[in-house]
């Protein structure tokens, strides 16, 4: 199958930027900066620095080494590793060869990883030593790889090529592969824990348009971005790609640590950061936060889950520089942005639809609802995936068409839009609680509980109820040193909630289960309660 999925029907195609700038391939933009500023730093990780000249050379060598193996433009290369300089170089080397990157989740199981690699039609597999144990059951049984197509970043083993030797054998010259806007850029799998994951295919046009749209975030050659989320995540790429495409520098953390983040930010005079909400919460809660000099920050970004209102207020008050919350899907389509400092009266929302984005809210019958009414968010924009790889049926299920036949992506998120066009998220559609025939949105309940001075974190889930079918249960992480009472907190919350919203109970937790990019795993939180009742979720 071709690596480029056909354009979805009646969706926009970003072949020029808002200012009519013609398309430019990201690997070509990176090559430009390698020549223009060879002595400036491109990457820093664990004290090791790589200049732009060294970075550009490594990218070209990797591209040529791939082509010498029989890798062809349009082919896929999978990467399973923790963040490293080699990972970043490889990512751009694959693109430079005209290939498509398949960044794999370090949270996935062995069976799912093998499935992803083969489903993607991967021709080469890069592996880091930190993932060797996880990959051991399948690494020598992957179908479809090129001969000698297993490459080890930082270990030696039979059947594996050494990355350093392999890369150095590649020519230090432009591979001369033209990269067009419709060529596949990356294939990101949506799930890695259970079931059959869906491969989300992005092309070069989508990635380039995002970079052009984000120029007003201050990305430039003097940008220094700190990266502390996994490289397989779209959240991370949204910050890494504009930084390097605009000639900036990346400070790469192999693993997030609050103190190390603050030290690096001060020491390296960091200007940009993309963090997920739980990271902001932990950073702001650190007792020494205000002792660090963070005055170099120009812009901070947040995505993957909604930021709590109080957290936004703290960021605006205590952390220098701008703050923008971004709502969107890895698939693309609808997206919103909230300039926190510009809209202090809208901090309960995720902002307004971004440039080139059109969003609507639908009822259960697929009809548009008036402003202020809840429903499912659907959207269309210049940044829409090419489709779910080799799953046209799943792609079709995601589409909603308006009366003019234009395609919108279904988000699976429930929300409402106010008269000013600001969107408030309510819940995932699959997580909505239906109690006694009434729809209960967890976000409404969580917002009330989060206002209590003793609450550090909270998630509301639906649990089985003989009387109501489901009832809302609040899982609460108390603030350190607080001796809160579960029943008292429940009564306090229910006094402020509507009769149909009242929570059945409060349970204290030391923490909430989250993914590596900070999303609360509500399915996992619900599972024990439903299993105990002998019912499936």
Render pLDDT for 347-391 as a digit per residue (tens, 0 to 9): 999 999 988 899 999 998 999 999 999 999 999 998 899 999 999
Instruction: Indicate the average pLDDT of the chain.
Output: 91
Confidence of residue 3 (pLDDT cuts 50, 70, 90): very low
Which of 383, 407, 428 is at the close of a domain?
428
- Quick check: is 173 in a domain? yes
Taking 60 as the threshold, does the pLDDT of residue 416 lie above it?
yes
User: Quick one: 384 and 442 in the same domain?
Assistant: no
Range among 220-229, 422-431, 460-469 with highest mean pLDDT value: 220-229
Q: For tokens 């200007």, what's the residue?
A: 271
Co-location of 359 and 441 in the same domain: no
**Domain identity same for 451 and 367:** no
| Domain count across the chain | 3
How large a percentage of the chain has pLDDT more than 70?
94
| Phi then psi dihedrals of residue 48, to 5 deg | -90, 130
What span, in angstroms and rounded, lies between the C-alpha atoms of 506 and 523? 18
What is the span of the domain harbouring residue 328?
256-428
Alpha-carbon span 372 to 422, nearest angstrom? 10
Alpha carbon of residue 143 to chain centroid: 28
Q: Are 359 and 353 in contact (CB under 8 A)?
A: yes
pTM of the shown model: 0.85
pLDDT tens-digit readout, 462-511 = 998 888 888 999 999 999 888 778 999 999 999 988 888 899 999 999 99
Residue 353's SS3 state is strand
Verify that 420 and 490 share a domain, yes or no.
Answer: no
Distance of alpha carbon 494 from alpha carbon 492, whole angstroms:
6
Q: pLDDT value at position 19?
A: 59
H/E element holding 85?
helix 85-96
Place of tokens 């995720």: 350
Task: Report yes or no: 496 and 449 within 8 Å, Cβ to Cβ.
Answer: no
Percent of the chain surpassing pLDDT 90: 73
Indicate if 424 and 436 belong to the same structural domain: no
176/293 same-domain check: no
d(CA 469, CA 464): 6
Q: Is residue 242 part of a domain?
A: no
Greatest mean pLDDT among 215-219, 291-295, 392-396, 439-443 lies in: 291-295
What are the pLDDT digits (tens) for 388-405?
999 999 999 999 999 999
pLDDT of residue 492: 94
Of 170, 205, 240, which closes a domain? 205
pLDDT at 15 over 80: no
Based on the domain organization, do 369 and 478 belong to the same domain?
no
Look up the CATH number of the domain holding residue 346: 3.40.50.12780
180, 60: one domain:
yes
pLDDT in tens, 93-104: 999 999 999 999
Q: Determine, yes or no, domain membership for 239.
A: no
- pLDDT for the residue numbered 212: 86
Mean pLDDT of 84-92: 98
Gap between the Cα atoms of 24 and 383, Å rounded: 16
DSSP lists the bridge partners of residue 301 as: 274, 324
**pLDDT (0 to 100) of residue 14:** 46
pLDDT, residue 6, reads 39
Which token pair is 537?
Answer: 């979720």
Confidence of residue 190 (pLDDT cuts 50, 70, 90): confident
Query: Are 186 and 278 in a shared domain?
Result: no
pLDDT at 195: 53
Give tens-digit pLDDT for 254-302: 999 999 999 999 999 999 999 988 899 999 999 999 999 999 999 999 9
How far apart are alpha carbons 345 and 351 in whole angstroms?
11
Positive or negative torsion for Cα 518, 524, 529, 530: positive
My answer on whether 481 and 420 are in the same domain is: no
Residue 195 covered by a domain: yes
- Residue 69 CA to residue 234 CA, distance in Å, equals 28
Counting every residue written for the chain, the total comes to: 537
Q: Are residues 410 and 450 in the same domain?
A: no
Q: Which residues contact 532 (CB under 8 A, 6 or more apart)?
A: none
Q: Which of 44-53, 425-434, 446-455 has the lowest mean pLDDT?
A: 425-434
Q: What is the pLDDT of residue 466?
A: 80
Q: What is the DSSP string of 477-513?
A: EEPTT----HHHHHHHHHTTS-GGG--SEEEE-S---
Q: How far is it, in rounded angstroms, from Cα 190 to Cα 108? A: 11
Residue that finishes a domain, picked among 413, 428, 443: 428
189 lies in the same domain as 116: yes
Q: Which residue has the higher pLDDT, 15 or 121?
A: 121
Domain with residue 108: its CATH number is: 3.40.50.980
**Residue 411 — φ and ψ, nearest 5°?**
-90, -25
Kindly indicate the confidence band of residue 12, based on its pLDDT and cuts at 50, 70 and 90: low
- β-strand pairing of 322-328 with 299-302: parallel
Q: Which of 185-199, 302-316, 403-417, 502-516 has the lowest mean pLDDT?
A: 185-199
Cα distance between residue 412 and residue 399, in whole Å: 11
Give the residue from 407, 447, 410 showing the smallest Cα distance to 426: 447
State the CATH number of the domain containing residue 490.
Answer: 3.30.300.30
Q: How confident is the model at residue 434 (pLDDT cuts 50, 70, 90)?
A: confident
The confidence band for 194, taking pLDDT boundaries of 50, 70 and 90, is very low
Would you list the DSSP string of 151-204?
A: EESS---TT-EEHHHHHHTS-SS-------TTSEEEEEES-SSSS-PPEEEEEH
Pairing of strands 100-103, 76-80: parallel
Residue 129 pLDDT level (bands cut at 50, 70, 90): very high
Task: Report if residue 19 sits inside a domain.
Answer: no
pLDDT for res 74: 97
Print the SS3 string covering 277-329.
Answer: HHHHHHHHHCCCHHHCCCCCCCEEEECCCCCCHHHHHHHHHHCCCEEEEEEEC
* pLDDT of 2: 34
Would you place residue 535 in the very low, low, confident or very high pLDDT band (cuts 50, 70, 90)?
Answer: low
DSSP 191-247: -SSSS-PPEEEEEHHHHHHHHHHGGGGT-STT-EEEE-S-TTSHHHHHHHHHHHHTT
């Amino acid at each position: 199958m071709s690596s480029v999925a056909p354009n979805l029907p009646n969706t926009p195609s970003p072949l020029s930027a808002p200012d009519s700038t013609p398309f430019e391939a990201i690997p070509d933009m990176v090559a430009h900066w390698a020549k223009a500023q060879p002595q400036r730093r491109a990457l820093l990780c664990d004290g090791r620095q790589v200049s732009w000249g060294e970075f550009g050379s490594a990218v070209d060598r990797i591209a040529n080494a791939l082509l010498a193996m029989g890798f062809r433009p349009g082919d896929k290369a999978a990467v399973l590793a923790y963040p490293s300089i080699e990972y970043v170089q490889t990512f751009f080397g694959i693109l430079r060869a005209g290939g498509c990157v398949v960044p794999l989740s370090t949270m996935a199981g062995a069976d799912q990883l093998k499935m992803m690699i083969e489903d993607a039609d991967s021709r080469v597999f890069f592996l880091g030593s930190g993932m060797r144990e996880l990959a051991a059951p399948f690494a020598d049984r992957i179908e479809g790889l090129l001969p000698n197509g297993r490459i080890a970043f930082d270990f030696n083993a039979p059947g594996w090529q050494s990355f350093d030797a392999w890369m150095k054998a590649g020519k230090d010259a432009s591979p001369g592969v033209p990269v067009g806007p419709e060529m596949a850029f990356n294939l990101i799998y949506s799930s890695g824990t259970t079931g059959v994951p869906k491969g989300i295919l992005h092309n070069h046009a989508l990635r380039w348009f995002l970079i052009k749209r984000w120029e007003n975030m201050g990305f430039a050659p003097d940008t220094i971005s700190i990266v502390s989320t996994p490289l397989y995540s779209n959240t991370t790429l949204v910050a890494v790609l504009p930084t390097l495409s605009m000639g900036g520098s990346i400070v790469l953390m192999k693993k997030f640590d609050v103190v190390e983040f603050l030290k690096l930010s001060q020491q390296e005079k960091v200007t940009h950061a993309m963090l997920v909400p739980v990271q902001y919460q932990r950073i702001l809660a650190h007792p020494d936060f205000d002792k660090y000099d963070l005055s170099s920050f120009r812009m901070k970004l947040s995505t993957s889950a909604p930021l709590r209102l109080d957290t936004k207020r703290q960021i605006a008050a205590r952390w220098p520089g701008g703050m923008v919350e971004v709502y969107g899907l890895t698939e693309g389509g609808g997206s919103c942005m909230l300039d926190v400092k510009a809209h202090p009266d809208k901090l309960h929302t995720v902002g307004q639809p971004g440039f080139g984005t059109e969003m609507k809210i639908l009822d259960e019958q697929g009809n548009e609802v008036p402003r202020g009414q809840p429903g499912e968010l659907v959207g269309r924009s210049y940044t829409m995936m090419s489709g779910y790889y080799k799953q046209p049926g799943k792609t079709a299920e995601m589409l909603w068409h308006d009366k003019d036949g234009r395609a919108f992506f279904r988000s699976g998120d429930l929300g409402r839009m106010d008269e000013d066009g600001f969107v408030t998220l309510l819940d995932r559609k699959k997580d909505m609680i239906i109690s006694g025939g009434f729809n209960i949105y967890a976000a409404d309940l969580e917002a009330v509980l989060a206002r209590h001075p003793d609450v550090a974190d909270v998630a509301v889930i639906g649990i089985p109820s003989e009387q109501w079918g489901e009832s809302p249960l609040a899982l609460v992480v108390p603030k350190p040193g607080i001796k809160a009472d579960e029943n008292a907190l429940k009564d306090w919350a229910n006094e402020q909630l509507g009769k149909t919203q009242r929570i059945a109970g409060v349970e204290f937790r030391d923490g909430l289960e989250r993914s590596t990019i900070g999303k609360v795993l509500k399915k996992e939180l619900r599972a024990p309660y439903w299993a105990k009742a002998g019912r499936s979720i």
